[in-house]
Structure 1
Amino acid sequence: MSKHRKCLLVHQAKAENKTGLQTSTMLSWKLPRLLTIQQVPKVFHEDSILCGYRSPCSSATACILSLFQMTNETLNIWTHFIPALYFLWKMLSFLHSGFWDDPFLWPLLVFQLSCCIYPLASTCAHTFSVMSTKARHICFFLDYGAVSLYSLGAAIAYSAYVFPDRWVGGTFHRWYVPCAVMNTIICTALACYSRLGAPVLHYNQLVIERIPEVTRPRLSKMLRTTAFAYPYLFDSIPLFYRLFLCSGSGCALNAALPRHIWHSLLAFLTAFLFTTHLPERLAPGCFDFVASPLRSQSPAVPCVWCYGHLHPDGSSDTGHESTKGVAYGKG
């Protein structure tokens, strides 16, 4: 064989190797195959969701790529991420409008910060929860903590803007935020217990026993629902009083009350969907790709709607005079 012929063969082999490497790289970036409920461990099962599951040992890259693939979590992730971007934009708008000059608006900043943290944490939790069983637990522990932190932010805002005048300075008003802090800690722990149990009793480094979520699913569901519902009900005591019981001076009607009514109705709708697993329970397999956002994202709808009716200075866009108390429920 001539030297020229050998040279051509060497170059051809190098070109084939390079093409093979490029092809293999392109194949490695393909979207991962989706699995059915029978193909994933029980720890990853969702009630009445039969298909669209991601691999339970996905890499971080695969988790990110799955954002652009229609899985049973895709809509759930994006319906958390988009509101998070919206809340970040609103908070930055407030900060660039002389927000710091008025201490009356500082509690609103705390609430807006919690509105940003909660959906961002949920986005990360649902995105990376399929890397492993342990990663799934850790992701949702952070998610539960973010939900509780959101309830604390709401309590701080309610303490500043929603309390009736006759309650301001009273015993309940003085202890309201400290109690909300305790609720945040206790309810986060309760939600984590509902998934994994007490770490001292139910955990070791080799086997993660899902107690009581697998062995006692109804108890787990009840504990987790309580961990989410109780802070909301506690935070809403002054709001419900103003909506349904308050009368006389200090309880004047204002533009914020109808929004709070809609917010409360949608919150109870969220609780109903979360506890009943409707509509997917009525037709398992038919709502695999939309059930999660229906159950988890209802709270963001009233939040976005309410913020859409407020200007950065805290005033309402309804044409009333721009009193910050009117915008946020302070009569």
Structure 2
Amino acid sequence: MLSLKLPQLLQVHQVPRVFWEDGIVSGYRRPTSSALDCVLSSFQMTNETVNIWTHFLPTWYFLWRLLVLAGGPGFRAEPYHWPLLVFLLPTCLYPFASCCAHTFSSMSPRARHICYFLDYGALSLYSLGHSHQLFHICAVLGTHFQLEAVLADMESRQAWLATQATPLGLAGTVATLGLAVAGNLLIIAAFTASLFRAPSTCPLLQGGPPEGGTNAKQQ
């Protein structure tokens, strides 16, 4: 009868430092595991088991949602559904890539890095609709078009405003801006004062990585 033996697990001091995870002292897989060993290890409690299954199961859920939505009536007929499809594809990809990275990262130190290169690449695709950098670009573009709209509105209604609205003086306009600036400065001053009162051991004031190094992959 065919039987499969689950891979032996190691202590933290038995694996190279590149495989170390902060706070985890046991449950490490052999750093030269075969692909089969990596797959089998997902069925025993290792330092990666939870990471593997919490990415593997959602992959199938998101894939099911993709198939249901894409197969629904009228999906292909509506142009605004295509951006949704572009969002759903990376939604399925990134948990699967992360699952594979956590599963096969113990094959070798090089394999570990390559696995997480692919993992971060998939995350980059998913964060494209959510990127903070893209947000900055869109915000600047939005400000540009808002400025153009304000100028166009001012020019088109200038004659009407001159006869129908109460003219705004310089003092009132500057006072409104001054109140807003003063309020913001008070808030900044209050938080700055509390920062100086905080002890030097406050985590907000600690620079650099924590003692013991950083993880190649945060759990």
**How many residues are paired up?**
148
Decide whether aligned partners of structure 1 residues 120 and 168 sit closer, same or farther in structure 2, where only a CA change above 3 A counts.
Answer: farther
SS at match of 1:52: strand
Partner of 2:52: 77
Partner of 2:10: 35
- 1:109 and 1:84 mapped to 2: Cα distance? 15
Unaligned runs of 5+ in 1: 1-21, 172-274, 282-294, 297-331
| Counterpart check, 1:135 vs 2:136 | no
Q: Which amino acid aligns with 1:49?
A: I
Superimposed CA distance per residue, residues 92-127 of structure 1 (whole angstroms, 9 cap, x where no aligned partner): 011111311111121111111111110010011110
Decide whether aligned partners of structure 1 residues 110 and 276 sit closer, same or farther in structure 2, where only a CA change above 3 A counts.
Answer: farther
| Counterpart check, 1:122 vs 2:120 | no
Q: CA deviation at 1:167?
A: 3.6
Q: CA deviation at 1:63?
A: 0.5
Partner of 2:121: 145
Give the structure with higher Rg (CA).
2
Decide whether aligned partners of structure 1 residues 169 and 89 sit closer, same or farther in structure 2, where only a CA change above 3 A counts.
Answer: farther
| Counterpart check, 1:57 vs 2:39 | no
Decide whether aligned partners of structure 1 residues 101 and 276 sit closer, same or farther in structure 2, where only a CA change above 3 A counts.
Answer: farther
Q: CA contact under 8 A between 1:34 and 1:53: conserved in structure 2?
A: yes
Q: Which amino acid aligns with 2:123?
A: V
Q: CA deviation at 1:154?
A: 3.9
Percent identity over the alignment?
A: 56
Q: CA deviation at 1:44?
A: 0.5
Q: CA deviation at 1:170?
A: 3.6
Q: CA deviation at 1:276?
A: 9.2
- 2:130 and 2:68 mapped to 1: Cα distance? 20
Decide whether aligned partners of structure 1 residues 168 and 83 sit closer, same or farther in structure 2, where only a CA change above 3 A counts.
Answer: farther
Partner of 1:100: 76
Partner of 2:151: none
Decide whether aligned partners of structure 1 residues 111 and 168 sit closer, same or farther in structure 2, where only a CA change above 3 A counts.
Answer: farther
CA-based RMSD: 3.1
| Counterpart check, 1:47 vs 2:22 | yes
SS at match of 1:100: coil
Unaligned runs of 5+ in 2: 147-207, 212-217
Partner of 1:6: none
Q: CA deviation at 1:33?
A: 1.0
Alignment TM-score, normalising by the size of structure 1: 0.40
Q: CA deviation at 1:47?
A: 1.0
Q: After TM superposition, which residue ranges in structure 1, 4 or more long, deviate above 3 angstroms? A: 166-171
- 2:43 and 2:105 mapped to 1: Cα distance? 16
Q: CA contact under 8 A between 1:111 and 1:154: conserved in structure 2?
A: no
- 1:41 and 1:104 mapped to 2: Cα distance? 50
Superimposed CA distance per residue, residues 76-96 of structure 1 (whole angstroms, 9 cap, x where no aligned partner): 110011111111000001111
- 2:32 and 2:129 mapped to 1: Cα distance? 35
